[in-house]
Amino acid sequence: MPVTAHACILVIEMLKAVSEDIERPQVNGHEPAGAILSTAGPNMSAAASVKNVLFFLSLVFRYPREAVYAELGRLLPVFEDFFDAYAGNVPVLPEMEELQAEYIRLFVNNRGSVAAVPYASCHLDGGILMGESYHRLRMIMSETGFVLDESTGELEDHLAILLEFASMLAGRLIDASVSRGVPLDEISDALGEVTFGFLRPMMKPILEGISGGTTTDFYAASVRALYNFMADAEVIYTQIFSVPVSAAIKTGVKK
Amino acid sequence: MKSKDMSRRKFLALSTGAIAGTIFCPNLAFLKAAEPQGMKYAILPEGKREVIASNCAMCVNKCGILCEVVNGKLHKINPNKKHIKSRGMLCAKGNAGAAVPYDPNRLKTPLLRTGKRGKGQWKEISWDEAYKYVAKNLSDLKEKYKNRSSVAFASTEGFQEEFFYYLVNSFGSLNTVRHPTLCLSSNIQGWSSVYGVFPDADLKNAEYVIMLGSDRAQALITPDSVDFQRYKPKGQKLIVLDPRFTATAAKADRWYPVKPRTDQGFVLAMMNVIISENLYDKEFVETYTHGFDELAEMVKEYTPEWAEGKCEIPADDIRQIAREFAFHAPRSVIYPGRRSSFYTHEVYVRQTFAILSAICGCWDVPGGIVPKSSINLNSHNVMFPFFMDAQDRVDKVATGLIKDVVPDAVQCPMVGTGLPTDSCAFLSEKDGSWISFREAVLQDNPYPVRGFVCFKQNPVQGVVNTQKTLKMLDKMEFICVIDTQMSDTAWYADIVLPHATYLERWDPAHSLSGIWPIISFRQPVIEPMFKSKSMFEIAGGIIREMLKIPSLWNDIDPADLESFNKNIVEDILDKPVQEFIKHQVSKHPGAWEELLKEGFFTTDGGKARYGSTRNSEYRFKTKTGKIELFNERYKDKGLYPLPKFCEPEYRPKENEYRFLVGRTAWNTHSSTQNNPYLWEIQKENTVWINVGEAAKLGIAGGDRVRVKSKIGEQTLRAYVTEKIRPDCVFYVNGWNRKSPMLSRVYGHGASESEILDDVIDSISGSVCMHETFVTLQKV
């Protein structure tokens, strides 16, 4: 049986308890995510897990400055099961200086070109930064009430920021009180578009780039985990967040 | 390994546990909540379109551009049809500039080396840390060697170079090394020896043009390349001498595959005909020139028949061309060209060109050779401190250097050829001589140079004999590179600082002198990306940190320091750069507004300026004040005062070919080959081999060929053609970069720097790129 099917069954079982005796309004044939999640028991935890996995992966794929590195060190044991499940092994965190050098070599600057360009636009729009998809992403962020802290000096479609954005959107679906007035179905659409329109299309080149270019198991294992997690995202999102995957893909960025 | 399915099930099953409950450290988020406006969040404007005028920087020409910006993104670069210098043209490189800011491999943030040099181990640092690091290293070197010139500063031309020199002059090193000795210094020296200045050619109004080794259809220079394309078809006659059938030769009325290194003989024979047949401009010669009699005497021996034996051009053709040139004078041009880093006697070659123009009176008139005019800018009158601990530049004071730079040449041909053997005769104080400088550093001659600050130059690729450049870098205790890309030189640095691209910054106004002078500048068309900064900001940041280190200022008059603080730091560097530019153009009412609107401004409606030097009272910047056909300063220096023909001192041995290097219209040196748009035009270079020679060697078109010199070897595909002389081979520069990660050009084609011998012309200090011989072998 395919992996995604296993995950699907599991999540459906988790949702069963709350889905049978609660009447929910239908939106476009789907139950609004907020309606499910606000009453959900076990799936609230699953949703929180997904949100936190996304944020943890965002930490993994950002420059490991001191604070980030410390956080990775603190949280890596917590995510052992995640890595075990999605990467096949739990990576060892290298020394900070080594990790920083490897990060720069892989993602920031190398002699000539980096192994894995972390910007979605480069994978969606023909190899250059800030292509058409970049503007679309900024629109989504704006419409859902997010803005990039300019002091980061980064672009919105950096892998780490996309993962953080997805995590933030998941957070708003879990706790409607932080959705700041944006309808939950818009947030779930945004989560779908960010995941399937931006993150998913860059998974293969990122996996290949890092796998072929890295000398540390940390990024090799991390990108495997990310890749496999993204491969499961359709099932997880459909069942946990009630994200209408087909709609999300439909609204996703067109190549 | 466990079953993947089971593992993932376990993970999800356990998700009620630790992961779900994870609390992340605050303050790590990139994103923040936007402030709602009314009932909705602010929505980004759709389709906001602006057109911003600026100037290109993809090569040295600074052509006018109109940048179409949509929603803050540079959408397209168009030519500025009003631009006087570029005549409304924008080449492939200029168009491809739209990709430059959006290159994912551009430098993004200051990087500090953490591993061994050249191993590619870096960490990100803040700009404040970077400024402190650079200032401290400069201070340490100054203290250790008691000599500010122990740090060398390398740069190449560009508007921001002005601010790089703010940093250079604030530190006080006299060791600066620039690009001209890799390009046109011998050309400047040769023409200046005659007129005191390096002039332009009026290709717009010329009736008769001779180009020797210049490929204006490929190596683009504005306005010359545009005028050549536009006015040649309207009846202008063009004679091209080049060992290759270039794109320019294809447009010529006559092309001669001249024997390399003998162009000078052709021009001397032209003068022989013009003087012996009294076709020269007697009135002009008498009024403006010095040394005609000596010249006439010298050229007597250079008959067309003599020249035919040297350059393989029929004597009758030389006579005819000489007569035609004189007939059309003064609307005749022997084209000065630009890059002249060809041969060891190149200064004499260029001097010969200049003298031919002079005797025919083709000077400072429409259609002739015209001194550059310029539009004056307001100076900021900056006075940098006078530093006591600064020794003179190494390539000037080193002893016996030339012998070491060109040992083969010294042993035989230098003697009796009018070329200096001790040091460069006319070394530019600011430019230096790249090859001599490198040799002096390698020898610690006469003192150690242990610091290297490099702005927008890539000597590892750009300076011939790469291995020597790497050895020079190995001697450095501190290397700082400021660039937009992780160049091969940056790779060997200790600290790399990201420079904003030309589309993201304000550049100071510059007077682009010429027959049609303009004032140019740059304004940002998009916001600076990532953490890149302009050289203006970087120089200011480092200088401010330098001011915090008292020992850096202990060899100057305290009053100088006070003045420096006030006049340079406070009045210039602490203010927005726009204030600097406004002051520059303040003597021209409306100029600032015109710059913002059009990207340039001019006076007199942009009319050509002729005749300013054609009055008998005018004093040329030569020793006699006249146009010197006989150069008095050369005589003083023991050089040939007249351009005697220099016999070829380097000759190919059996099975050897003279290696020629050149450019295409779609790449600039080694800097643009990886541009995604330009890469589509050309994906690798090929070596041109004459059909007959290829047959002898068993090489067919497309075969891989090893090109080997005494310096190194490269492998690339063959282009078998009739368009090159049998004794020469050729490929364009900038390929097969050293980086295995350079995705588009790594392993494609061949690098010229890896095989070129470091021979120099010892008058100007220029490298000679056509004095290398190679063998070919099919692989």
B681 confidence band (pLDDT: 50, 70, 90)? confident
Residue B4, by phi and psi: left (phi above 0), alpha (psi -120 to 50) or beta? alpha
Residues 6+ apart with CB under 8 A from B575: none
A21 confidence band (pLDDT: 50, 70, 90)? very low
Q: Name the average pLDDT for chain A.
A: 80
A111 confidence band (pLDDT: 50, 70, 90)? confident
Residues 6+ apart with CB under 8 A from B186: B340, B341, B342, B346, B347, B349, B350, B761, B763, B764, B766
Q: Which SS3 state, helix, strand or coil, does residue B250 take?
A: helix
Q: How far apart are CA B748 and CA B737, in angstroms?
A: 8
Nearest 5 degrees, angle CA B390-CA B494-CA B460? 85
CA distances to A113, A136, B682 from A147, rounded to whole Å, are 29, 13, 41
Q: Which of B19-28, B80-89, B549-558 has the lowest mean pLDDT?
A: B19-28
Asked if residues B10 and A85 have their Cβ atoms less than 8 Å apart, the reply is yes
Flag if A108 and B73 touch (Cβ within 8 Å). no
> B9, B11, B482: which to substitute to probe chain A, counting the most A Cβ within 10 Å?
B11
Q: Which residues of B touch A99 (CB under 8 A)?
A: none
Q: Which residues of A touch B125 (CB under 8 A)?
A: none
pLDDT in tens, B307-331: 999 999 999 999 999 999 999 999 9
pLDDT in tens, B330-360: 999 999 989 999 998 899 999 999 999 999 9
Q: Is the pLDDT of residue A24 over 50?
A: no
Q: In this prediction, what percent of chain B has a pLDDT beyond 90?
A: 74
Asked if residues B511 and B375 have their Cβ atoms less than 8 Å apart, the reply is yes
Q: Where are the beta strands (DSSP E) in B23-102?
A: 31-33, 36-37, 40-41, 49-55, 64-70, 73-79
Q: Is A17 on the interface with B (CB under 8 A)?
A: no
In this prediction, residue B17 carries a pLDDT of 67
Query: Strand B254-256 to strand B122-124: parallel, antiparallel, or no bridges (unpaired)?
Result: unpaired
Q: Is A108 on the interface with B (CB under 8 A)?
A: yes
Q: Which residue of B has its CA nearest to A117?
A: B104
Residues listed for chain B: 779
Q: How far apart are CA B492 and CA B510, in angstroms?
A: 32
In this prediction, residue B527 carries a pLDDT of 93
B364 confidence band (pLDDT: 50, 70, 90)? very high
Q: In this prediction, what percent of chain B has a pLDDT beyond 70?
A: 92
Comparing CA positions, the residue from B440, B439, B450 lying closest to residue B476 is: B450
Q: Name the average pLDDT for chain B.
A: 91
Which H or E run contains B151? strand B151-155
- pTM (two decimals): 0.90
A15 confidence band (pLDDT: 50, 70, 90)? very low
DSSP B464-518: S-HHHHHHHHHT-SEEEEEESB--HHHHT-SEEEEBPPTTSS-EEEEEE-BSS-E
> A68, A113, A165, A232: which to substitute to probe chain B, counting the most B Cβ within 10 Å?
A113
In this prediction, residue B733 carries a pLDDT of 85
Comparing CA positions, the residue from B529, B104, B107, B484 lying closest to residue A116 is: B104
CB atoms under 10 Å from CB of B571, counted, come to 15
B73-79 sheet: strands from edge to edge = B49-55, B64-70, B73-79
Flag if B22 and A10 touch (Cβ within 8 Å). no
Q: Is the pLDDT of residue B586 over 60?
A: yes
Residues listed for chain A: 255
- Which tokens sit at A8? 């699907």
Flag if A168 and B31 touch (Cβ within 8 Å). yes
Q: Which of A36-45, B176-185, B230-239, B713-722 has the lowest mean pLDDT?
A: A36-45
Nearest 5 degrees, angle CA B574-CA B580-CA B583? 135
Q: Which residues of B touch A210 (CB under 8 A)?
A: none
pLDDT in tens, A122-159: 999 988 899 989 999 999 999 899 999 988 999 999 99
Residues 6+ apart with CB under 8 A from B713: B706, B707, B754, B755
Residue B734, by phi and psi: left (phi above 0), alpha (psi -120 to 50) or beta? left
Q: How far apart are CA B170 and CA B761, in angstroms?
A: 32
A72 confidence band (pLDDT: 50, 70, 90)? very high
pLDDT in tens, B614-647: 999 999 999 999 999 999 999 998 889 999 998 7
Query: Strand B773-778 to strand B657-662: parallel, antiparallel, or no bridges (unpaired)?
Result: antiparallel
Q: Counting beta carbons within 10 angstroms of the beta carbon of residue B394, is it exposed (0 to 12), middle (13 to 18) or buried (19 or more)?
A: buried
> B10, B12, B40: which to substitute to probe chain A, counting the most A Cβ within 10 Å?
B12
Q: In chain A, positions 63-82, which contact chain B (CB-CB < 8 Å)? A: 63, 65, 67-68, 70-71, 74-75, 78-79, 81-82
Residues 6+ apart with CB under 8 A from B673: B667, B679, B682, B734, B735, B737, B744, B745
A243 confidence band (pLDDT: 50, 70, 90)? low
pLDDT in tens, A170-180: 998 887 766 66
Instruction: Classify the C-alpha dihedral A27-A31-A37-A39 as positive or negative.
Output: positive
Q: Where are the beta strands (DSSP E) in B223-375?
A: 237-241, 254-256, 289-290, 332-334, 369-370
Q: Which of B42-56, B129-143, B365-379, B683-697 has the lowest mean pLDDT?
A: B42-56
Q: Which of A6-15, B531-540, B683-692, B698-707 has the lowest mean pLDDT?
A: A6-15
Flag if A11 and B10 touch (Cβ within 8 Å). no
pLDDT in tens, B570-584: 999 999 999 999 999
Q: Is the pLDDT of residue B291 over 90?
A: yes
B611 confidence band (pLDDT: 50, 70, 90)? very high
Residues 6+ apart with CB under 8 A from B41: A142, A143, A144, A145, A182, B34
Q: Is the pLDDT of residue B39 over 70?
A: no
In this prediction, residue A34 carries a pLDDT of 42
Comparing CA positions, the residue from B487, B433, B479 lying closest to residue B457 is: B487
